[in-house]
Amino acid sequence: MHLRFTIRDLLWLTLVVAMATGWWIDTRPNRVLPPPISVTPDYDHEKVKVAVKNFIREALDSDDPFSKLHIYLSQLTADGWPEADVDAVRSTCNSALWTIYDISIE
């Protein structure tokens, strides 16, 4: 006795298993919900905005702005800036630099 399965049979089996798994995950009683997302940011907007403006002014005159960003962030950390503020500056400056870099390539 040989069992022969076609690709269509395997696709149906995959669909049935996926639906059953989804149903089981959705209806199991002991679900652990993720913690609610905080709506208020944990960094100082004005302080970060000024730091980003200062960095962009310096970075536009630099040959290697990404290395300059690393140095700038190290200075902020050394000056005692909270980690949330430094992270906000890092992500904003990285986005700005990549946007400037992408535009200058085209």
- pLDDT tens readout for residues 63-75: 888 888 888 889 8
Q: What are residue 35's phi and psi, to 5 degrees?
A: -65, 150
pTM for the model: 0.54
Please check whether residue 85 is in contact with residue 106, taking contact to mean a CB–CB distance below 8 angstroms.
no
Closest CA to 66 of 18, 101, 35: 101
How many CA atoms are closer than 13 Å to the CA of 17, on its beta-carbon side?
6
Q: What pLDDT, in 10s, does the model give residues 1-26?
A: 678 889 999 999 999 999 999 998 88
